[in-house]
Amino acid sequence: MLLFAQHSTFQSTAELLGISWHRVHAICERYVDIALEKTDLSDVRKIAVDETSCRKGHDYLTLVADMEKRRVAFVTEGKDATTIDAFSADFVQHGRKPEQIETVTIDMSPAFIQGLGNALPNAEITFDKFHVIAHASHALDQTRRLEQKVDHSLKGLRWPLLKDSGNLTVLQRTERDRFFAARPSACTTRAWVYREQLRVILDRKQPNVLDRELRAWCNGVMRSKVDEMKRVAKMIRVHHDGIVAWSRSRQTNGFIVLAPG
């Protein structure tokens, strides 16, 4: 039953085995409790934190994973600052000290940032670079949406602009590059360039180089007319140190796969 429940919903498992949903839930809950009691967190030093919606609506789960062993260390309801406090308390219950957590990788959620200060005092924050790029991609898409209202040549270019160049078809790449050639000064063109520049910068391995280039990128964007990307630059300036920390830790929470239940 546990094997089925790992790869399907409780309802599907119940129907397949001819038992009630409540029976499946109770069995899984019992085995989860047993596993948690036996969890050894003695060597956990680096963690990743992420949240997901657990059902339709606004119910969320926060998951904490052991970065080095790629395993779940803690799960709780919610996505606010108290979830970090809850992990810290659970860590203590397992006989560990919150001070042993050296690094934590999170998105730029204000709630998580607030919770880390007191709950994990020695943890250096790393902001997952993929979340930073996601913000830039969103700004690019918003820029395209706004500009498309007056420039209909942008119609049909959403995915050619958002996808990595290596994932585009020849036709998509041709259409995108044709727009760039025809509209080199368009806000959408500039936004795409800024997003691609940010990708390159965030791959720098030397912290001092990343620091310098990221500051220069923000300065350049703030002098531009691409308002949506300016919001990204402002966000990066606020979270600058945690973003630069990526070049030291190379940590990402991308390995955490969370699916709604």
What pLDDT is recorded for position 17? 80
> Token match 């599907």: residue?
12
Q: Provide, rounded to the nearest whole percent, the portion of the chain with pLDDT above 90.
A: 56
Query: What CATH number is given for 39-127 in this structure?
Result: 3.30.420.10
Strands 60-66 and 124-127: unpaired
Strands 103-106 and 124-127: parallel
Express each pLDDT in 194-224 by its tens digit: 999 999 999 999 999 999 999 999 999 999 9
Kindly state the average pLDDT of the residues 220-243.
Answer: 96
Strands 71-77 and 60-66: antiparallel
What pLDDT is recorded for position 260? 39
What pLDDT is recorded for position 217? 98
pTM for this prediction: 0.81
Question: Is the predicted pLDDT of residue 67 greater than 70, yes or no?
Answer: yes
What does the mean pLDDT of the chain come to?
Answer: 89
pLDDT-derived band at 84 (thresholds 50, 70, 90) equals: very high
